[in-house]
Amino acid sequence: MLRWKKKRICRFCEAGDVYIDFRDEKRLVRFLTEQGKIVPRRTSGNCAQHQRQLAKAIKRARHLALIPFVSDIPR
């Protein structure tokens, strides 16, 4: 029931962004889990368009070693 109350808004729509640039890794990192996985839409609240763009941006950034593929925290 808790989930129903919270209506998430796409952050990129809120900011009025048309394109998500893979160059600013600081922004992308916020949509990654601690391990470096892409956060699902149901958690981040992104709209479909922006989630697709985001996924692409993250993958490009990973390829260029701007953000890690995996970042395991030793426990």
Partner 1 sequence: MEKLYCTIYIVDISQNPEEEEAVTSRIQQLIEDHGGIIQRINRWGKKRLAYPIQKKTHGYYVEIEFTAKSVLNIPAILEQEYRVNDRVLRYLTYVVDKKELIQRAKKAGKKAEKEAPAAEKKETPAAPEAPPAEAPAAEPEAPQVTEPAETENPPVAETEAPVTEEAQEAAQESEEKKEEK
Which parts of this chain interact with partner 1 (CB under 8 A)? 2-3, 6, 11, 16-19, 21, 23-27, 30, 43, 60, 62-69
Tokens found for residue 40:
């699902």
Residue 25: which residues within 8 A CB-CB, separation 6 or more? Answer: 61, 66, 67
Round to whole Å and give the CA distance between 43 and 6: 11
Nearer to partner 1, 11 or 41 (CB): 11
Q: How far is the CB of 55 from partner 1 (least distance, A)?
A: 15
Nearer to partner 1, 21 or 37 (CB): 21
